Structure 1
Amino acid sequence: MTNNNAALDQVFHALSDKTRRAVIRRLSDGPITVSELAAPFGMALPSFMQHLKVLERSGLIRSTKAGRIRTCELEPATLDTAEDWLIGQRALWSERFDRLDAYLTKVQQDEDGVQAKNQTKVSPKG
């Protein structure tokens, strides 16, 4: 369980940066060379490579080298792991909100019942 938590922490850390999220979005279209991938970001290649290292360590992308060309590719299974965690959280919180809603509805109904009883007791004699 601890290993899984550490891996998930790395994924969310990698996704916490807008540049890295943009890289993931671009790689969802398919593999691309590092130079093509870096071009729209307007940063020095060594700085961009740091972002790629974080993404590779998290398992979100992988890169291959053929001669002097490095190509990056998305690892969708890692995104599936993060998505599964988010789905679990959504289900957990949905259940909690449903229980809270049921409790608040019951409290409101009990309060309405008490008010109705009190109005019956206080009604003027005619």
Structure 2
Amino acid sequence: MRRDVFQAIADPTRREILNMIAHQSLNLNAVADNFEISRPAISKHIKILTECGLIEIKQQGRERYCEAKLEKLNEVSQWVEQYRIFWTAKLDALGDFLARDSSAPAPTEFKTKKQ
């Protein structure tokens, strides 16, 4: 199965794993100790993150450590950026239109009832 970075970050557990190991390299047991789910479930999440290229497993003696490789998140950043540019342009155009339209009523303030 081909996996991509969007699949990896779709799950909150995987996002939390990434957040944890972004700050420091952790062995698999240390990662699993931070969750209330089974170790096999954590292993599955780590496998997905590894397949997507967001984690690299390094053997140090008998321990296996997870290291974050966050460069792949640039794909997400670029995808989001295109929509930020699109919506910024649309909202700027709306603001310009409203500023030019002298017949547009002035915004009213919301008043709350006294209780």
Q: Under TM normalisation by the shorter chain, which class is it?
A: 0.7 to 0.9
Asked if 1:81 is matched to 2:81, the reply is no
Question: Matches of 1:89 and 1:61 in 2, distance apart?
Answer: 27
Q: Give the 4+ runs in structure 1 shifted more than 4 A.
A: none
**Map of 1:1-126 to 2, 5 A cutoff?**
10-106=4-100, 108-109=101-102, 111=103
Unaligned runs of at least 5 residues, structure 2: 105-115
Residue 72 of structure 1 and its aligned partner are, at CA, apart by 0.7
Percent identity between matched residues is: 27
The structure whose Rg is larger is: 1
Give the whole-Å Cα distance in 1 for the aligned partners of 2:50 and 2:96.
Answer: 45
Q: TM-score, normalised by structure 2?
A: 0.75
- Distance in 2 between residues matched to 1:79 and 1:30, nearest whole Å: 18
Equivalenced residue count is: 103
Structure 2 CA distance for aligned equivalents of residues 60 and 53 of structure 1:
10
Structure having the higher helix fraction is: 1
How much has 1:75 moved relative to structure 2?
0.6
- When normalised by structure 1's length, the TM-score is 0.69
- Matched AA of 2:37: M
Q: Structure 1: which amino acid aligns with 2:72?
A: T
Instruction: Note the aligned Cα RMSD (angstroms).
Output: 2.1
Q: Distance in 1 between matches of 2:76 and 2:39?
A: 28
